[in-house]
Amino acid sequence: MSSESVVPPVVRPRRLRTTPALRRSVAETSLEARQLILPVFVREGLSEPHPISSMPGVVQHTRDSVRRAAAEAAELGLAGIMLFGIPEHKDAIGSGAVDPDGILNRVIADVVAEVGDALPVMADLCLDEFTDHGHCGVLTADGRVDNDATLEIYAEMARAQAAAGVDLVGPSGMMDGQVAVVRAALDGAGHTDVAVLAYSAKYASAFFGPFREAVDSSLQGDRRTYQQDPANGREGVREALLDVAEGADIVMVKPALAYLDVLRRVRDAVDVPVAAYNISGEYSMVEAAAAHGWIDREAAIWETLISIRRAGADLVLTYWAAEVAGWL
């Protein structure tokens, strides 16, 4: 075929990819500091931050170091900080979770005192860090997680966190009816302004592995009887709709990357903000591959987070939040 017979294309999508500035101007999805939430772990009894070996760059904080992390997050303009407490002592009912002097409630007060209204302070509302068996609820005599008995403790935990000054509580145990019970407990105690960020579609995922180290988990068995089956997508939407009906102010999909389809479905189904949690295993895979020189770390982080935003997340919980906000 001669060159004269080739008809040049009229439509050339590549025209809009010519320069970095042009690509930036037509980008369909943005990534901003105000969309990123930093999850942090605070361990009782530490005198200095303790590195988490399976999550390079992430630590278990002391009460002092988490205040500094919160102040930095506020200065960077992050969407919030999500607090996880790790107690020195655990028991079968997770009593440290409702103790006003327990590590999580003390840390909430510490961080609120540090940042005031400059940064939304959020706290995980679950028993798994506080129980000696590692489950998200109390157990029956035959070892099953007792949904309704657990809800009573969640209500008490919500009141304790609100009294400590939290802005948003994050019920994450996947107990049926947890949002309704937490909302009623907060309102009944006069904490009507405390919002609920519901872990609505939370799957029984292998990618939670490094998180077990991060919270010193003592889990026995697995959580498949209450966390969702990875095979189910429609069920994630159903859970989110139930949580919205029960009073959730924000709903969340967790994990993010293996469930981008669920995230998209949830975003299309609800009229409240949607969050997604870029979890420990997703973080650690990128860090491990980058450490071996197999991928470009910064580019992979950016692509990971932009994919979660593109799938529909208004907010992204990520251990890279502060670092990426610094890039922005």
Domains of the chain, residue spans: 30-327
Give me the pLDDT at residue 3, please: 58
In the residue annotation, 90 being an active-site residue is answered as no
Report the Cα 257 to chain-centroid distance in Å: 13
- Kindly report, residue by residue over 223-236, the tens digit of the pLDDT: 888 899 999 999 99
SS3 call for 125: strand
Beta bridge partners of 82: 39, 122
pLDDT of residue 115: 98
Alpha-carbon span 38 to 24, nearest angstrom: 26
Q: Which residues of the chain have pLDDT under 70?
A: 1-4
Three-state SS at 243: helix
Exposure of 277 by Cβ count < 10 A (0-12 exposed, 13-18 middle, 19+ buried)? buried
Active-site choice (43, 254, 267, 309): 254
Alpha helix ranges (H) inside the chain: 20-25, 63-76, 103-115, 147-164, 178-188, 209-214, 234-246, 260-269, 280-291, 297-310, 321-327
User: What's residue 170's pLDDT?
Assistant: 98
Three-state DSSP class for residue 228: strand
- CA 145, distance to chain mean position in Å, is 23
What is the model's pTM?
0.95
* DSSP string of 50-104, one letter each residue: EE-TTSTT-EEEPHHHHHHHHHHHHHHT-SEEEEEEE-S--BTT-GGGT-TTSHH
Return the structure tokens found at 264. 């998209």
Contact 274, 252 (CB under 8 A): yes
Determine the pLDDT at residue 1. 52
**Residue type (1 letter), 43:** R
Instruction: Report pLDDT for 74.
Output: 98
Class of domain 30-327: alpha beta
pLDDT for res 2? 58
Q: What digits encode the pLDDT tens for the residues 273-319?
A: 999 999 999 999 999 999 999 999 999 999 999 999 999 999 999 99
Please tell me which residue in 67, 90, 135, 202 is annotated as part of the active site: 202
**What pLDDT was estimated at residue 310?**
98
Angle between helices 297-310 and 280-291 (to 10 degrees): 150
Residue with tokens 């959580």: 223
Answer yes or no: 254 catalytic. Answer: yes
Rounded CA separation 88/61 (Å): 14
